[in-house]
Amino acid sequence: MKTATVPLSLHIDHAQDVEHIREIIATLPVDSVMVDMSHYDEAENLEKTRILTKECQDKGIAVEAESGRINGGEDGIADTGDLEGMLCQTFWNAETKSRY
């Protein structure tokens, strides 16, 4: 990355393990992480995502959140193949620190 002649960005897609995400943001020069807690129910998904988002933002790392899930499985994505689709209706406003 140090010798690249064009701008580069390193994104970690569908990160599903809390401790793995913490290890990544502590040791790798990532620019963004997709926090994918879609294998949890909605409340736990949003809480884990909220905590990890704060940890990432404290390090200047952008977060994409997987707040819902599609029916069926996705190659390489853990623990979602047998789960029903879930549309998350709760949104978090980072500025006001409230849900809407």
Angle in degrees, CA 7, 50, 43, rounded to 5? 135
Whether 75 sits among the annotated catalytic residues: the reply is no
Catalytic residue among 13, 31, 41, 79: 13
Using CA atoms of 80, 41, 89, 71 in order, give the dihedral in degrees to the nearest 10: 20
Q: Which residues are catalytic?
A: 13
